[in-house]
Amino acid sequence: MSPSPVLAMRGIDKAFLGVPVLRSVDLDIEPGEVHALVGENGAGKSTLMKILAGVHTADAGTIELHGRAVSFTHPLQAQHAGIATVFQEFNLLPELSVAENLHLGREPRRRGLIDRRAMAERTAELLADLGVDDLAPAAKAGTLSVPRRQIVEIARAMSQGADLICMDEPTAALADAEVELLYRLVERLRDKGVSVLYVSHRLREIFDLCDRITVLKDGERVATVDTPDITPDELVTAMVGRRIEAVFPEPLPGTETGEVRLRVEGGGNAHVDGIDLEVRAGEIVGLAGLQGSGRTEVAEAVFGITPFTRGTVAVDGAPKRITGPRKAIAAGLALVTEDRKAQGLALNQSVKANARMVLDANARVHSRERLARIDGVLSGLDLVSQGGDQEVQYLSGGNQQKVVVAKWLAAEPGVIVLDEPTRGIDVGAKHKLYSAIRSLAAEGLAVLLITSELIEVIGLADRIVVLHDGRIAGELPAGATEQQVMAYATGRSPA
């Protein structure tokens, strides 16, 4: 270890309302290193990062930057000290331009006034420096695509002249190809001698990018290791405290592929076209594709949010005109949306209120029996909470996702569409979700699984439908390789 780390955190304690979240955590980051921070959700990664960012203040412990003790009570202090943070949730203001977002809180000034010319120039330089040349500084953030917003976030962190950049799940919203761009950005940072604290659930990225890894578990540091000294399996074991034999569970015994439950023929609207899709009972169909290829748009069309304007949809053999969520639900469809906080949950309401939301909202699926079964559904998903009256905002991401799934299962759908169900969820919770998906199939549901993590489609799907540019580029059987999927996804034919 080098004698002067950029950052040295010692004995950090933090409790929220009496519940300890971090217990005597140490963390060292060397200049120019990419340091991974891993752990299950609830392990304290985000809290640690927010202490670094000045959002929270530690209850005990010391933070030293370049050997100097610091303590932050406001994000601005952290920024001034040279720590920049890219949070998991998008922290851009849609009404402001790229340049304004990049410089928010640190606008260049001339004679005390905002110097807009300098702002535009610096933005252009910064983006060029990152190798991004097709992003207009004057464009409003609200008009940008998800990966571009991510780029702006990272550019903002870089522009702060920070020597430590913290990234919280930076790839959560990125498709694999876009992850490449992020790799380049991170490597560029490393080359400049900037340290990166990298929080991710994606083992591949950690092993691709990071020099060292710190593992948190239940608020305590389990280990800090050099990446070459550990294998992915060992890492997972360290995180969850047990060895996961295979990441993806096998199909449950007794899972049978039955009748076609969902059939789309020639489906198209403003975003997608020529969608032919079939999902059978007991089958998991993966829907793969790059960001912007129309994966979510297909899900939204099937569910009637932006309905197909062409083609036909049939559920259980009966043609349906699905023009909205209500029609979809009545037809026996369910959609676990990509963004659970914004689209899935009423955060101020209790677990129970959320779990019965679909039943409450739809007379056609509401019944006393189903209401009575909700507790069973929740416990079947291993939901860890203080009980049904707890507000979901106080649950971890994984547990929140379970509530979303429960709310749909309560309605006993025939077809369930899962859009990025594991986004932002830790490895342990992911594994439980994979098992849950398997058991859904075993119970005879038709599952349409949308995910940007290729490995998930490959590991779980019985068939893989690959989208490219709003159209189906090809279909692959189970056991397809990443290369084959990528080939279709990028518009080529697999060799």
Partner 1 sequence: MSPRRLDTTALIYLALAGVVAVGGAAVAMDGGNLFSTANLVDMFTRTSLTGFLAIGMTLVILCRSLDLSVGYTAALSSLVAATTMDGDPGRIVLGVAAALLVSGLIGAAGGAVVAFLGVNPFIATLGVGLIIKGYLDTRYKGPAGDVPALFQQFGYTRVAFLPISTIVMLALAAAGIWFLRSTRTGHHMYAVGGDIDIARMSGVRTKRVLMAAHVLCGMAAGTAGLLLAARFGTGSAESYTNLYELDAIAAVVLGGTLLLGGRGGIAGTVAGVLILAVLDTVFNVMQINPFAKDVLRGAIIIAAVAIYARRQLGRTARRPRFDAATTGAGTGRP
Partner 2 sequence: MRHLRTASAALIGGGTGTVFALLAAIFIAVAFINPGFFEWPSLMAFLKQAAPLVILAAGQYFVIVSGNFDLSVGALVGAQVVIAAKLIDGEESRTLPVLGVMLLFGLGVGLVNGLITTALKVQSFITTLGMMLVLYGAIRLWTGGAPTGSLSEAFRGPGRRGIEGVPLIGEIPWAVLIMLGAGAAAIWLMRTRFGRILVATGDNDLAAELSGARTGTVRTVAFVFSGLSATVAGLLIGGYAGVSAQVGEGMEFTVITAVVLGGVVLGGGRGSVVAAMAGALTLEALFTLFNQMFLPASIRPSVQGAIIIAAVAYAAWRRTRRPVAATATVNADPS
**CA pair distance 149, 143, nearest whole angstrom:** 9
User: Does residue 142 interact with partner 1 by CB under 8 A?
Assistant: yes
Q: Which of 7, 41, 58, 163 binds partner 2 (CB under 8 A)?
A: 41
What token pair was written down for 132? 């991004």
Q: CA-to-CA distance for 135 and 151, rounded, in angstroms?
A: 10
CA dist., res. 204 & res. 216, Å (int): 18
Q: How many CB atoms lie within 10 A of CB 484?
A: 19
For residue 87, give the H/E element and its range.
Answer: none
Q: Is 180 in the site for partner 1 (CB under 8 A)?
A: no
Q: Is 16 in the site for partner 2 (CB under 8 A)?
A: yes
- The answer to whether the CB of 390 falls within 8 A of the CB of 351 is yes
At its nearest, how many Å lie between partner 2 and the CB of residue 258? 26
d(CA 237, CA 246): 12
3-state secondary structure of 164: strand
> Does 343 interact with partner 2 (rule: CB under 8 A)?
yes
Residue count, binding to partner 2 (CB under 8 A): 50
Piece of the chain touching partner 1 by CB under 8 A; list 5-13, 124-132, 138-146, 429-437? 138-146
Partner from partner 1, partner 2, none contacting 140, C-beta within 5 to 8 A by type: partner 1
Q: Which listed range, 191-199, 273-281, 337-345, 459-467, lies at the site for partner 2 (CB under 8 A)?
A: 337-345
3-state SS, residue 282: coil
Q: CB of 363: closest distance to partner 1 in angstroms?
A: 26
> Ramachandran region of residue 113, left (φ > 0), alpha (ψ -120 to 50) or beta?
beta
345 is a contact residue toward partner 2 (CB under 8 A)? yes
Binders of partner 2 among 284-313, rule CB under 8 A?
303, 305
The alpha-carbon radius of gyration of the chain (Å, integer) is: 23
Residue 268 binds which of partner 1, partner 2, none (CB < 5-8 A, kind-dependent): none
Does residue 318 interact with partner 2 by CB under 8 A? Answer: no
Shortest distance in whole angstroms from residue 362 CB to partner 2: 4
Residue 323 binds: one of partner 1, partner 2, none (C-beta under 5 to 8 A by kind)? none
Q: Choose, by CB under 8 A, the member of 258, 346, 481, 491 that binds partner 2.
A: 346
Residue span 200-239 as binding mask against partner 2, x where in contact by CB under 8 A, dash where not: ------------------x---------------------
**Considering the rule CB under 8 A, would residue 306 count as an interface residue with partner 1?**
yes
Residue 328 engages partner 2 in binding (rule: CB under 8 A)? yes
Residues 6+ apart with CB under 8 A from 363: none
Measure the CA–CA gap between 478 and 487, rounded to whole angstroms: 16
* Residues in 68-127 at the binding interface with partner 1, rule: CB under 8 A: 74-76, 79, 85, 87, 89-97, 100, 104-107, 109, 112-114
Please report where in the chains the tokens 């559920």 appear, as a residue. 315
Give the Å distances, CA to CA, from 98 to 26, 80, 117: 36, 21, 13
Give the residues across from 68 on adjacent strands: 65
Which stretch in 18-26, 104-112, 257-265, 430-438 sits in contact with partner 2 by CB under 8 A? 18-26
C-alpha–C-alpha distance, residues 116 and 211, integer Å: 39
Run of H or E including 295:
helix 295-302
Rounded distance, CA 283 to CA 55, Å? Answer: 45
| Residue 347 sits in the site that holds partner 2 (CB under 8 A) | yes
Binding site for partner 1 (CB under 8 A): 53, 55, 74-76, 79, 85, 87, 89-97, 100, 104-107, 109, 112-114, 138-140, 142-143, 146, 149, 156, 296, 306, 339, 341-343, 347, 393-394
